[in-house]
Amino acid sequence: MLLNLPTAPIMFFGGKGGVGKTTVANATALKLSPHASTLVVSTDPAHNVGHLWDKKVGDSPTRVRDGIDILELDPARATEEHLKQAGDTMRRMMPEHLHKEVTKHLNLSRQSPGTHEAAMLERIATIIEDYEDTYDHIIFDTAPSGHTSRLMALPELMSAWTDGLLERRAKSEKFSDLVRGLTPTGKDTTVTTAEDPVDRRNQELRSILLKRRRRFERLRTVLTDATACQFHIVLTAERLPVLETDEFYQELHSNGVHVGALIVNRRSPADQGEFLASRRKYEDEALADLHRRLPDLEVIEIPLRPNDVGSPQALEAIADYLAQ
């Protein structure tokens, strides 16, 4: 099935709150479902995917219909897991008497800016690792824009961070080798045996850090490969959302993320009275501005529906605008 919007194994839907990200992300899965299997992952803490499918959904895939599984990412759990892993690694690096400090530091970082994003990113990376072979598509229905664009810049930062740790680690290993060589009973430091607890700890630590770095590097590769990943921006045809979409696009673009389509949702009808006709005209002006700012992007329009679209049946109507 050829959709109007460019498809890829991994797709993200982003945009402001309430514009229709969840609706369009799930309508896309619906449109793909006769031919391909999709996992829809909600990363917006204000989850409503479960409501949409009228199913109780959790932090692992739940089947909502043939070809569509849903997962609502639990941000609190992601943060706890992330901090636990970070804590385990840090405790391995620090001498015993500093372990209390590590715990204190981690308790503080639970509240600090960036922790939540890093945790979400790690979870997104593991979801891709765990499920990319199970499903034809993984669709991420993301939180409002600011949050998501920061997220897309993170893999680079996280790789740099693990690199820094690895480097520091290498230096301190060299240093401890040296110290060991200097002690009167010093062993021959040219031979490293796996039985040496310090060497073993170092090896273990290096492998944890390397694994983490590889995870972020791989995510970075996926996010910046247009054949692997497409990011679609959902918006309404209004002046401010258009300006924000332009900014959002530039941010994603500068992070190397490929924007597939702009999906303009809730377009007012021109033939339903003066009020809506006047709105339609205002929207047309906003869209002219959008085309001027981002002339090369695919724009897909979805009309404002007269009824609730928060049900599987209603979703079909939305899905029809995604492929013709």
Ligand X SMILES: Nc1ncnc2c1ncn2[C@@H]1O[C@H](COP(=O)(O)OP(=O)(O)O)[C@@H](O)[C@H]1O
Does residue 305 belong to the site contacting ligand X (CB under 6 A)?
yes
Q: Which of 48, 62, 109, 192 binds ligand X (CB under 6 A)?
A: 48
Q: Which of 10, 19, 229, 287 binds ligand X (CB under 6 A)?
A: 19
Give me the least distance between CB of 205 and ligand X, in Å please: 41
| Contact positions with ligand X (CB under 6 A) in 277-296 | none
By CB under 6 A, residue 22 contacts ligand X: yes
Which token pair is 16?
């402001």
Is 142 a binding residue for Mg ion by CB under 5 A? The answer is: no
Residue among 72, 68, 74 at smallest CA distance from 137: 68
Site string for ligand X, 183-222 (x = CB under 6 A): ----------------------------------------
Which residue has the closest beta carbon to Mg ion?
A: 22
Interaction of residue 51 with ligand X, rule CB under 6 A:
no
18 part of the interface to ligand X, by CB under 6 A: yes
Q: Does 317 bind ligand X (CB under 6 A)?
A: no
95-104 burial: b if 16+ Cβ within 10 Å, else e = eeeeeeebee
By CB under 6 A, tell whether 23 contacts ligand X.
Answer: yes
Report residue 93 CA to chain centroid gap: 29
| Residue in 22, 38, 202, 255 binding Mg ion, rule: CB under 5 A | 22
Question: How would you class 251 by CB atoms within 10 Å of its CB: exposed for 0-12, middle for 13-18, buried for 19 or more?
Answer: middle
* Partner interacting with residue 168 (select from Mg ion, ligand X, none; CB below 5-8 Å by kind): none
| Residue 266 interaction partner, one of Mg ion, ligand X, none, beta carbon < 5-8 Å per kind | ligand X
Closer Cβ to Mg ion, 47 or 213, answer by number: 47
We find the least distance from the C-beta atom of residue 44 to Mg ion, in angstroms, to be: 5
Helices 145-182 and 239-254, packing angle to 10 deg? 30
20 binds ligand X (CB under 6 A): yes
241 makes contact with ligand X (CB under 6 A): no
Query: How far apart are CB 3 and ligand X at their closest, in Å?
Result: 17
Residues 34-73 that bind Mg ion (CB under 5 A): 44
| Least distance from ligand X to the Cβ atom of residue 158, Å | 26
Stretch that binds ligand X, among 18-26, 84-92, 126-134, 183-191 (CB under 6 A): 18-26
148 binds, among Mg ion, ligand X, none (CB under 5 to 8 A by kind): none
Query: Residue 51 in contact with residue 88, Cβ under 8 Å?
Result: no
* Site of interaction with Mg ion (CB under 5 A): 21-22, 44
